[in-house]
Amino acid sequence: MKAFILDRYEKKGALRLGDMPQPKLGDDEVLVEVHAAGLNLLDSKIRDGEFKPILPYRPPFILGHDVAGTVVRVGPSVRDFKPGDEIYARPRDGRIGTFAEFIAISEADVALKPKGLSMEEAASIPLVGLTAWQVLVERAKLQKGQKVLIHAGSGGVGAFAIQLAKHLGATVATTTSTANIDLVKSLGADVVVDYKTQDFATVLSGYDVVLNSLDGDTLQKSLEVLKPGGKLISISGPPDPDFAREQGLNWVLRQVLGQLSSGIRKKARSRQVAYSFLFMRANGRQLSQITALIEAGIIRPVVDRIFPFKATNQALAYVETGRAKGKVVVKLK
């Protein structure tokens, strides 16, 4: 099968379009013919080698974390899916590889594709949808009437998280550039801070939750908008000791990650707020709940551009510019 292969870790390195064997199917897995694959900054960071200590993939391997496609075969233990089903998924870590014509995915990571969405729209959802769900529903336990700040509201995670937070009944603030103000308002943002002309830390206060996906300076300033008892949840780091334990990392790595996050955790404690790092995980059950929200018209996908499969490297370069509104997708079929 054709696939985009990472031959070696290299910053800004190109993936190689080549042939790889079709994946072997495990007892509890479904073999999916890929119709479309979403791209994420996580793909770039893995390619650049940033996640080697945490996700030790051995080159050559296939990148890609979002998929929509058709089930062509199922393992003997699979009960909920059959050949011909249209599905979408974020395959679990260690089993990624959606930049390919086929992928084998654990049944537990898969959900039926939302009715009414194209394959390209569906492929834009899993990673960002699960990230937003796990931050706002699972970790923050966001409640009706609470106030949440979602940074980078026009990005992939931000565009989904704004819609989910509004559905949960929260007052939603977001940061974005002047060009994207109308977009984030259309998604449901109540308060929009134009980062080109305003400082969110001086405009906002008394917030219950902040979802950070940006740099360290933004992370530090986010503490200032939270009220005592608030939660600062970052998906861009630094990782904390709880994450290290959940990942089963060795003692040395646990110490290193503890040091990386010690500063922000200390500052958070001094302001009586909680800091935590979230690295999303595959979860087909949660994805099915997201499907229900999409089919009910509560959440809509935001797709910036669709590239042909052969242009995967160009698509990844576009993601890295940070200018995409919502998600970028490559189309195979």
pTM of the model: 0.97
Residue 206 in any domain: the answer is yes
Paired strand residues for 306: 329
Residue 102 in any domain: the answer is yes
Does 210 share its domain with 92? no
Number of helices (H) and strands (E), helices first, in the chain? Answer: 11, 16
How far apart CA 222 and CA 239 sit, in angstroms, is: 17
Residue 295 in any domain: the answer is no
Does 111 share its domain with 131? no
Phi, psi (rounded to 5 degrees) for 214? -110, -155
Residue 285 in any domain: the answer is no
Residue 199 in any domain: the answer is yes
Residue 288 in any domain: the answer is no
Does 133 share its domain with 269? yes
Residue 169: left if φ>0, alpha if ψ -120 to 50, beta else—which one?
left
Does 232 share its domain with 325? no
**Which residue stretches of the chain are H helix?**
41-48, 119-123, 126-133, 156-167, 181-187, 200-203, 216-222, 241-246, 251-270, 284-295, 312-320
Full residue range of the structural domain in which residue 256 is found: 127-277
pLDDT in tens, the chain (333 residues): 999 999 999 999 999 999 999 999 999 999 999 999 999 999 999 999 998 888 889 999 999 999 999 999 999 999 999 999 999 999 999 999 999 999 999 999 999 999 999 999 999 999 999 999 999 999 999 999 999 999 999 999 999 999 999 999 999 999 999 999 999 999 999 999 999 999 999 999 999 999 999 998 999 999 999 999 999 999 998 888 888 888 888 888 888 888 888 999 999 999 999 999 999 999 999 999 999 999 999 999 999 999 999 999 999 999 999 999 999 999 998
Does 323 share its domain with 220? no
pLDDT, residue 117, reads 98
Does 103 share its domain with 212? no
Does 141 share its domain with 249? yes
The CATH code of the domain that includes 49 is 3.90.180.10
Does 168 share its domain with 133? yes
- Residue 128: closest CA among 105, 98, 161: 161
The CATH code of the domain that includes 201 is 3.40.50.720
Does 323 share its domain with 264? no
Residue 112 in any domain: the answer is yes
**How many domains, in total, are found in the chain?**
2
Does 214 share its domain with 115? no
Number of Cβ within 10 Å of residue 180's Cβ equals: 21
Find out whether the peptide bond into 91 is cis, omega within 30 degrees of 0.
no
Does 21 share its domain with 109? yes
How far apart CA 333 and CA 36 sit, in angstroms, is: 7
- Residue 97: closest CA among 63, 47, 48, 125: 63
Residue 37: left if φ>0, alpha if ψ -120 to 50, beta else—which one?
beta
Kindly report the length of the chain: 333
Does 72 share its domain with 154? no
CA 1, distance to chain mean position in Å, is 26
Q: DSSP labels for 191-244?
A: EEEETTT--HHHH--SEEEEEE-S-HHHHHHHGGGEEEEEEEEESSS---HHHH
Q: Retrieve residue 276's tokens.
A: 């935590």
Residue 286 in any domain: the answer is no
